[in-house]
A and B are shown apart, each in its own frame.
Chain A
Amino acid sequence: MDLRDTPDEAAFRAELRGWLEASLPEEKRGWRGGSQRFDDAFGREWSRKLFEGGYAGLTWPKEYGGAGAPYSYQAIFLEEMARAQAPPHVGVIGLGMAGPTIMVHGTEEQKQAHLAKILSAEEIWCQGFSEPDAGSDLAAVRTRMERRGDVFVVNGQKVWSSFAHIADWCIIVGLGDPDAPKYKGLTYMMIDMRSPGVEVRPLRQITGEAEFNEIFFTDVEVPASNLLGEEGQGWQVAMTTLLHERGTLGFALTAALEVAVNKLLDLARERVNGDELARGRVAQEWIELQALRYTNYRALTTYQRTGIPGPEGSVAKLRWSEQNQRLTKLGRELLGPEGLLDDGWWHYQQLRSRGNTIEAGTSEVLRNIIAERVLDLPRSR
């Protein structure tokens, strides 16, 4: 056990910190998240800079344009990005989900066509998994993928798809064989978002802005060469995507949480000097941030040792989402009557946080996963 950086890790951290200092304009710090991720033109420019600096796809193999670095480097990268309050690479779906899935299940041609462009932000990706009647129950998707010779004809509707309105490509799970048993009829493919018949409609959220979209597919013809995995293997391929979503997610979430906790500490220094109870609540948020951080470190060590994500990692998203809701509400509260005003930060973050326990696996589904896969309790269905 040694919780310090190794000499190599420390050198990487110092170099990255210096690079961020030099490369990120002061006025672009203090990233708010939400629709800023795609509406700010700086996003793509910044992503390109990260790529040129060698910081996109740190853990990707060198043959696909990555740095081939251990996962601890990705963790350091996310920590330093949070410290600098830097905007992330705009291609999060490509980097975290589409890319790793293509690496595992893609053909050589598919890898050559997409992986480098994901890193450089030339291709932005979105994800089409959820449907109006298939949320937590992914295997219930109904978007039809009908084979006609060398093409698949796709009809259906996807929902909660962030980045879809600026995306070039979409990874999508649909129903290839409606007569197959559940889980066996699913097919997974990549769709060019500029194909005729693809329509994107922004979904306005409780924050007032539209981060997510609905995607409608009407007789969209997709070449069979865009399949990822075989027909009928959609479930297995989707599990690869979701495993990667959860893989380094813990660090990304904790990095974002650190920014929020630091804001809370600043606010508390200004507003709650003598109130022991309020100070204690603020301290609790700091304590739970450390608990998540060191839980991530434990999970990372297990992952680097065994190649299998440790069971501790399943806790990260569940507890991050609840903590973000609690602490953003506390921020509003500490502001007193001013907590009702739209201050550009707490107001937005508190409303946005309500989505945290729903997106990327609801808390209910995550508790089921812990109960069944970690605690080995009998399955509820």
Chain B
Amino acid sequence: MDFSFTPEQQELKKQARAWLAGRYPLDRDFDAPGDDAWAELAELGWLGVSVAEDEGGTGLGFLEEAILFEELAYALYPGPYLGTIGLALPWLGADERRAVAAGEARWSAEVRGFVPWLGSVDRVVVDGSAYEARGEELPTVDPSRPLGRLEHGDGTPLPGSRDVARARAAIACEAVGVAQRALELGIEHARTREQFGKPIGVYQAVSHALSDTYADVELARSLAYWAAWCVAEGDEQAAVAAAAAKAFATEAAVTACERSIQVHGGTGFTWEHPLHRFYKRALWLEGFGARPAQLRAEVADAVLGAAVTA
């Protein structure tokens, strides 16, 4: 039993953290139109992580992608990485994968009637067929993640298959990245903000809220990495692990942001402070696809057996 990342994977995490901190700093203008740096991601090899080397990828696996999902969310990256790598990739054939790895195609998929990033991707997967990305795009709680209603034209069949567990594990890893950042912002504020002559972190009403967030984040991380490993290995527990991870980690991310806003006081409630951007991303992650209550119903079916309805 070994539950840790390899030195190479840890190095990838470190490099991703550093590159994203420079390219997507926290003091950037979040209200300016988003720039998805797609060519740079291709250059970094992040778009072909699990694409085979003879298809122009790096031939690694989902664990490396899981690391990137977490780090991209930690930096609140705005582009359609989740759409392309998390939702669409398992459906694609060799030619499409080659185009993805080369940074020549952005993809998304229809999930419960909605297509995230519909206005900014090239193609969309619906039930095993590819469609041109056309239709009305609607703003959501997270401005960097609009949802669209696809106008179905003529579909082209795709050779791959659906991988719900993979998409959910990816979202769980994103949630861990968001929760971790919200926790760190809260800690930083509690260390430096002084009231009554002391940093507010000395007050247990403040510090204990952050300790609780830390506990939530670590539990969420364990579930997200477990799910990611199950997906990477094709383990038989992948479905239940991913459902558990998405339910727990997205709720943990929402709570982490809410506690962090409270710890920040009035500052945390301002438009100027970046915290609300993380909060909105967390709400999006919780609500996209199956919500926690639906996921728990799936977990219940798995561990209790399906309910017999009268």
Contacts and interface: CB of A to CB of B under 8 A. Distances in A.
Interface string A339-381: 0000000000000000000000000101110111011111110
B210 interface: yes
Interface in B1-35: 1-6, 9
A312 interface: yes
A319 B202 contact: no
Interface stretch (A18-26, A54-62, A144-152, A290-298): A290-298
A318 interface: yes
Interface residues of B toward A: which range?
35 or more
B212 interface: yes
B299 interface: yes
A227 interface: no
B301 to A, nearest CB: 8
Contacts of A283: 296-297, 299-300, 303-304
A301 B296 contact: no
B231 interface: no
A374 B305 CA distance: 40
Interface in B202-254: 202-204, 207-208, 210-212, 214-215, 218-223, 225-226, 229, 241, 244, 247-248
B192 to A, nearest CB: 10
Interface of B: 1-6, 9, 63, 187, 190-191, 198-199, 201-204, 207-208, 210-212, 214-215, 218-223, 225-226, 229, 241, 244, 247-248, 293, 296-297, 299-300, 303-305, 307-310
Interface string A274-305: 10100110111011101111110110111001
Given A305-B4, A370-B214, A290 B207 contact: no
A52 interface: no
A265 to B, nearest CB: 6
Given A287-B223, A291-B222, A291-B248, A282 B300 contact: yes
Given A315-B215, A371-B208, A1 B202 contact: no
Given A3-B226, A286-B299, A295-B222, 20 more contacts: A3-B1, A3-B2, A6-B1, A280-B300, A283-B297, A283-B299, A284-B247, A284-B296, A291-B248, A292-B219, A294-B225, A297-B3, A302-B4, A311-B218, A312-B218, A370-B215, A371-B204, A374-B211, A375-B211, A375-B214
A172 to B, nearest CB: 30
14 contacts: A1-B9, A269-B305, A273-B308, A274-B307, A291-B222, A291-B223, A292-B219, A301-B1, A315-B218, A319-B215, A376-B187, A378-B199, A379-B202, A380-B202
B202 A294 contact: no
A1 B6 contact: yes
B207 A301 contact: no
Nearest to A371: B207
B307 A315 contact: no
Interface string A1-31: 1111110010000000000000000000000
A370 B183 CA distance: 13
Contacts of A95: none
A211 B143 CA distance: 57
Contacts of B210: 371, 375, 377
B219 A319 contact: yes
B296 A378 contact: no
A294 B226 contact: yes
Residue of B199, B211, B310 ringed by the most chain A CB atoms within 10 A: B211
A271 to B, nearest CB: 11
Contacts of A286: 244, 299, 303
A143 interface: no
B293 to A, nearest CB: 6
A293 B248 CA distance: 14
B57 to A, nearest CB: 20
Interface in A297-338: 297-298, 300-302, 305, 311-312, 315, 318-319
Given A283-B303, A380-B207, A298 B201 contact: no
Interface in A46-76: 72, 75
Contacts of B187: 375-377
A378 B218 contact: no
A292 B248 CA distance: 12
Contacts of B309: 274
Given A287-B223, A367-B204, A318 B296 contact: no
A290 B214 contact: no
A268 interface: yes
A378 B202 contact: yes
Contact of A287 (B9, B201, B248): B248
Given A3-B229, A292-B219, A287 B299 contact: yes
B4 A298 contact: yes
Contacts of B202: 377-380
Contacts of A375: 187, 207, 210-211, 214
Contacts of A276: 297, 300, 307
Contacts of A295: 218-219, 221-222
Contact of B296 (A3, A75, A269, A280): A280
B307 A279 contact: yes
A290 to B, nearest CB: 6
B185 to A, nearest CB: 12
Contacts of B207: 367-368, 371-372, 375, 377, 380
A1 B229 contact: yes
Given A268-B304, A370-B211, A375-B211, A280 B293 contact: yes
